[in-house]
Chains A and B, each alone.
Chain A
Amino acid sequence: MTTVQDRSAMPQEREPNPALSDPDRPIGYGRVQRKEDPRFIRGRGRYLDDIVLPGMLHGAILRSPVAHARLVSVDTTEALAHPKVRAVVTGKDLEGLNLAWAPTLSADVQAVLATDKVRFQGQEVAFVVADDRYAARDALELIDVEYEDLPPVVDARRALDPGAPVIRDDKEGQTDNHVFDWEAGDAAATDAVFARADVVVSEEVVYPRVHPAPMETCGAIADYEPVEGRLTLYETSQAPHAHRTLFAMVAGIPEHKIRVISPDIGGGFGNKVGIYPGYILAVVGSIVTGRPVKWVEDRSENLMSTSFARDYIMRGEVAATREGKILAVRTTVLADHGAFNATAQPTKYPAGFFSIFTGSYDLEAAHCSVTGVYTNKAPGGVAYACSFRVTEAVYLVERMVDVLAAELAMDPAELRLKNFIRPEQFPYRNKTGWEYDSGDYEPAMRMAMDRIGYADLRREQAERRDRGELMGIGVSFFTETVGAGPRKHMDIVGLGMADGAEVRVHPTGKAVVRLSVQTQGQGHETTFAQILAEELGIPPEDIDVVHGDTDNTPFGLGTYGSRSTPVSGGAVALAARKVKDKARLIAAAMLETRPEDLEWEKGRWFVAGDPTVGKTIAEIALGAHGTVALPEGVDGNLDAEVTYDPPNLTFPFGAYICVVDVDPGTGKVHVRRFVAVDDCGTRINPMIVEGQIHGGLADGVGMALMEFIGFDEQGNCLGGSFMDYLIPTAVEVPDWETGYTVTPSPHHPIGAKGIGESATVGSPPAVVNAVVDALAPFGIRHMDMPCTPARVWAAMQGRPTPPV
């Protein structure tokens, strides 16, 4: 392990860029500008809504105004009479095509357009196709729908009450709102440890419903060509290949006749993993009208109907000794899955990787059980950079450790240091079955404490408290679980979680790498070029990265759960090594020597002992495609292809410390400082890594303090616009202070662990712990998110925190 003080908070200083010190040296890892930036800064990105096809029509969706109602009638006569309307599609029409219901990613079905009932506010009821966007919206007003109201189930805690209205009466044999039960760990062993523990603390910890809300909403353009039966589907998709396979299954169009193109994506964060009814309706619209149909949701549709995140009600318990040794954790969770179970989790993991809730601590026992329920709310559930529910797990354990610290009157940082898994214990098998690949937690924690000046801050806090000022210091330490598969354990609707990469070195020594994963702003075009560059010694600017088009890329499951670098990064590195091995054989033929007599240095095979005699990758590529007599069994190219099946997940980690000041008069929380020390193993482009962390930290502040999708008693969504669903702006977040350690993954080809979601996972508990710490003088030990001024103020008055 090496520890390095990061300097990115001081913009004048840079990590050394080898390209600057020696312009001839091929660039691999390091801080380089992004290849995608030149087009974006000129307004030349090509996002879905920028695409215009000849003859293209526009679709719009009529949505339910109520949360639960029987659908009595849908009258489309007037809408059809609108001069610019080309088609109106209802649930009845879809029933005729056997398309009214579509399978979800969790072995449930979801209504494409409602036929029998509406089950959440914002559910899709009818689809209009018109000449232009404005006309399509106008025509929605002309559709007359009669609803017969039913009592809604809004509170997940009431969903399993006897006599609760049954939401999913469409499902045969479904007589209640129960979705699944799932557990991990050893209940009996855990109970035994709890029975003999000196100290047990418990707390109800709610991770409320939030929304990823990327700046670009979701959309699709379907272009169905009837003569050959070909569908070209442009989609805001994080997983184009998986979508194509699912479309083949749903729409009955053979997979080889479907091409999914995912263009530039304006942010995803999990929101663009699912297949939404709008995508399917665009396809139906194109088939019905014979013309391309574009559908792009507006912001309210995005917030009210597409995949939400979290919504876990967790009862957490910790057992410990009086000296602060944590012995065991257990939890029961109520998971609100909305009206359809449409969460995207690996099949065997209906609660995702929540069982990593043992955190970064060496425990004797652990047990969790999760019950999923239906409610009259939008479906979805894995989204917003959560690494398959690791977010909820980390939030729970990091809140509970602080509750324990309060009980024991111990410093929360010291309590964590006392309980960390020790470096010599890795690979570490936790009590719910995960094998943590590598870690060295204490140096990261110490670095964060040094960086923020922890002891001084505690002194300052004591002084301020004496003056009646409310200052809080919040600590969190997280272990992430990313890079799913392995495929034998992990699949989504039967598709194993592996990813592919194809590398081709062109005759002139330039290269292309084709990926199954899809960027949404993470900078794949740069990072993956750098991985290949590092392996082959071809400069990144000579490498083209192709992604987001199923016709031109290998199959794979796509980008979510921080999978890209751990999975596709592995694929690229291994494909590059195949190319390198093949290049050695060809170089040996060209140099008339034996392959084993050659040695590699970046970009070149040379004769051992005589470095002046050698062949560069470019020369070898030309040889491969030229007239060189190739050795037996070697074909004439420098290409390779790999589908990488990760042997295990990777386990990035980090230590975060947040300082807040709370206004005693208004309850407003001000985030004064935030230090984040992350370890994602090998850092390919530190600039991009830092960017990923910064974005996640802002998410964490948002969720902790302001983001919330709430509902009233009727099931009306209260977070349906950016007036109500508040996202931090530049004035609500501090200048991030970052540091890092490097503990490579031992099983990953380049030691990289992934960084996409670490900060979103790790930061909410740091902020909430800081708020609770600030409120400690009021005897407060717990606050639920979001810690809005109204809720903080109510808590200070000793009142129950009001709904937002």
Chain B
Amino acid sequence: MQVSMTVNGTEVSRDVEPRQLLVHFLRETLGLTGTHWGCDTSNCGTCVVLVDGVPVKSCTQLAAMTAGHEVRTVEGLADGGTLDPVQQGFMEEHGLQCGFCTPGMMLTARALLDRQPHPDETTIREAISGQICRCTGYATIVRSIQWAAAHPAAAPSDQEVRA
């Protein structure tokens, strides 16, 4: 079936199996492999993307159900050469190790900060509580999001990618 949606600001239209999951549509049909997959039961959240600005587990939704909606993935987080403050925050505060949960965590953080620019620690922990990180123990993820909240203006990425 033909499915059309907006992904990171660009209109896309593809012929897909009706049963195709959104996560596979993004990863395999569109080649946007920044969205990950980590479980069979909607528990891990490595697949989180924003649909109309709301965090959604893309393994739990069909591509067909997403027709007509706006999807934002990690590839759409930076604005050209300018990183999102959330991305900067994750680098500043060591919010990632293996990086597998990171795209989903950052998108949830973005949605949270859009809704609530200065969340307290409990709110941040609750916001990411549907997602598992096996590497960081979460404290640095919380700090990364706090960093982003404290630095709402994004900076050009080339200043921030120095090792």
Instruction: Fill in one digit per residue for B67-90: 1 if any A CB lies within 8 Å of its CB, else 0.
Output: 000000111011000010001001
Q: How far is the CB of A566 from chain B (nearest CB, A)?
A: 19
A255 within 8 A of B: no
What secondary structure prevails in chain A residues at the interface with B?
loop
A215 touches B163 (CB 8 A): no
B13 within 8 A of A: no
Residues of B within 8 Å of A47, CB to CB, are 33, 36, 100
B91 touches A266 (CB 8 A): no
Closest to B122 in A: A731
Residues of B within 8 Å of A520, CB to CB, are 98
Residues of A within 8 Å of B161, CB to CB, are 37-38
A721 touches B98 (CB 8 A): no
B17 within 8 A of A: yes
Stretch of A92-100, A644-652, A693-701, A784-792 with 4 or more beta carbons under 8 angstroms from chain B: A693-701
Instruction: Fill in one digit per residue for B122-163: 1 if any A CB lies within 8 Å of its CB, else 0.
Output: 001110111111111111111100110000000001000111
Residues facing B in A21-72 (CB within 8 A) are: 32-47, 49-50, 52
Given contact pairs A41-B90, A520-B98, A721-B41, A727 touches B135 in the complex (Cβ within 8 A): no
Residues of A within 8 Å of B78, CB to CB, are 42
Closest to B124 in A: A730
Identify A729's interface contact among B121, B131, B135, B146, CB under 8 A: B131
Residues of A within 8 Å of B33, CB to CB, are 43, 46-47, 49-50
Closest to B76 in A: A43
Residues of B within 8 Å of A526, CB to CB, are 163
Instruction: Fill in one digit per residue for A643-666: 1 if any B CB lies within 8 Å of its CB, else 0.
Output: 000000000000000000000000
Q: How far is the CB of B130 from chain A (nearest CB, A)?
A: 7
B94 touches A690 (CB 8 A): yes
Identify the 9 closest CB pairs spanning chains A and B, nearest first.
A43-B34, A521-B98, A40-B99, A266-B100, A694-B137, A43-B74, A722-B43, A521-B97, A698-B137
Q: How far is the CA of A34 from the CA of B143 in the complex (A)?
A: 16
Q: How far is the CA of A523 from the CA of B98 in the complex (A)?
A: 8
* Residues of chain B whose beta carbon lies under 8 Å from any beta carbon of chain A: 17, 19-20, 24, 27-28, 31-41, 43-44, 46, 73-75, 77-78, 83, 87, 90-94, 96-103, 106, 121, 124-126, 128-143, 146-147, 157, 161-163
B43 touches A215 (CB 8 A): no
A252 within 8 A of B: no
Most chain B beta-carbon contacts within 10 A, residue among A39, A44, A695, A723: A695
A215 touches B139 (CB 8 A): no
Q: How far is the CA of A265 from the CA of B32 in the complex (A)?
A: 18
B129 touches A731 (CB 8 A): yes
B41 touches A215 (CB 8 A): no
Residues of B within 8 Å of A37, CB to CB, are 90-91, 96, 99, 161
A40 touches B40 (CB 8 A): no
Residues of B within 8 Å of A33, CB to CB, are 91-92, 162-163
Residues of A within 8 Å of B140, CB to CB, are 690-691, 694
Closest to B99 in A: A40
Residues of A within 8 Å of B135, CB to CB, are 215, 267, 521, 691, 695
Closest to B74 in A: A43
A286 within 8 A of B: no
Residues of A within 8 Å of B39, CB to CB, are 299, 721-722
Q: How far is the CB of A620 from chain B (nearest CB, A)?
A: 23
Q: How far is the CB of B161 from chain A (nearest CB, A)?
A: 4
B163 touches A730 (CB 8 A): no
Q: How far is the CA of A736 from the CA of B121 in the complex (A)?
A: 13
B141 touches A730 (CB 8 A): yes
Identify B75's interface contact among A42, A687, A721, A727, CB under 8 A: A42
Q: How far is the CA of A299 from the CA of B47 in the complex (A)?
A: 14
A300 within 8 A of B: yes
B91 touches A267 (CB 8 A): no
Identify A264's interface contact among B43, B99, B146, CB under 8 A: B99
B121 touches A735 (CB 8 A): yes
Q: Can you offer 10 A-B residue contacts whose CB atoms are under 8 A?
A: A36-B99, A41-B90, A43-B32, A215-B38, A266-B36, A521-B99, A694-B139, A695-B97, A695-B135, A722-B39
* Residues of chain A whose beta carbon lies under 8 Å from any beta carbon of chain B: 11, 32-47, 49-50, 52, 133-134, 213-217, 264-267, 269, 298-300, 520-523, 526, 529, 540-541, 687-688, 690-691, 693-699, 721-723, 727, 729-731, 733, 735-736
B129 touches A729 (CB 8 A): yes
Q: How far is the CB of B89 from chain A (nearest CB, A)?
A: 9
B98 touches A300 (CB 8 A): no
Q: How far is the CB of B60 from chain A (nearest CB, A)?
A: 13
Residues of B within 8 Å of A727, CB to CB, are 132, 134
Residues of B within 8 Å of A691, CB to CB, are 94, 97, 135-136, 140
A730 touches B138 (CB 8 A): yes
Residues of A within 8 Å of B131, CB to CB, are 729
A215 touches B125 (CB 8 A): no
B142 touches A40 (CB 8 A): no
Given contact pairs A33-B163, A36-B99, A50-B33, A216 touches B38 in the complex (Cβ within 8 A): yes
Identify B46's interface contact among A215, A521, A529, CB under 8 A: A215
Given contact pairs A44-B34, A299-B38, A721-B40, A688 touches B46 in the complex (Cβ within 8 A): no
Residues of B within 8 Å of A36, CB to CB, are 99
Q: How far is the CA of A688 from the CA of B97 in the complex (A)?
A: 9
Given contact pairs A32-B163, A695-B134, A730-B141, A216 touches B100 in the complex (Cβ within 8 A): yes
Identify A695's interface contact among B75, B129, B137, B143, CB under 8 A: B137
Residues of A within 8 Å of B73, CB to CB, are 43
Q: How far is the CB of A678 from chain B (nearest CB, A)?
A: 13
Identify B142's interface contact among A265, A699, A730, CB under 8 A: A730
Residues of A within 8 Å of B132, CB to CB, are 215, 722, 727, 729
Residues of B within 8 Å of A541, CB to CB, are 162-163
Identify A34's interface contact among B28, B46, B91, B146, CB under 8 A: B91
Q: How far is the CA of A695 from the CA of B137 in the complex (A)?
A: 4
B41 touches A41 (CB 8 A): no
B98 touches A38 (CB 8 A): no
Q: How far is the CA of A49 from the CA of B34 in the complex (A)?
A: 11
Identify B136's interface contact among A213, A300, A694, CB under 8 A: A694
Q: How far is the CA of A44 from the CA of B27 in the complex (A)?
A: 12
Q: How far is the CA of A692 from the CA of B158 in the complex (A)?
A: 27
B137 touches A733 (CB 8 A): yes
Residues of B within 8 Å of A44, CB to CB, are 34
Given contact pairs A214-B134, A216-B100, A735-B142, A730 touches B125 in the complex (Cβ within 8 A): yes
B17 touches A38 (CB 8 A): no
Residues of B within 8 Å of A733, CB to CB, are 137-139
Residues of B within 8 Å of A264, CB to CB, are 98-99
A213 touches B43 (CB 8 A): no
Residues of B within 8 Å of A729, CB to CB, are 128-132, 138
Residues of B within 8 Å of A52, CB to CB, are 28, 31
B137 touches A697 (CB 8 A): yes
Given contacts A40-B96, A691-B135, A729-B129, 15 further A-B contacts (CB under 8 A): A38-B157, A43-B32, A47-B33, A47-B36, A49-B27, A49-B33, A134-B17, A215-B46, A267-B97, A299-B38, A520-B98, A521-B100, A694-B140, A696-B137, A733-B138
Q: How far is the CA of A696 from the CA of B137 in the complex (A)?
A: 7
Most chain B beta-carbon contacts within 10 A, residue among A49, A213, A521, A687: A521
Q: How far is the CB of A218 from chain B (nearest CB, A)?
A: 12
Residues of A within 8 Å of B75, CB to CB, are 42-43
Q: How far is the CB of A24 from chain B (nearest CB, A)?
A: 15
Residues of B within 8 Å of A50, CB to CB, are 27, 33
Q: How far is the CA of A275 from the CA of B106 in the complex (A)?
A: 33
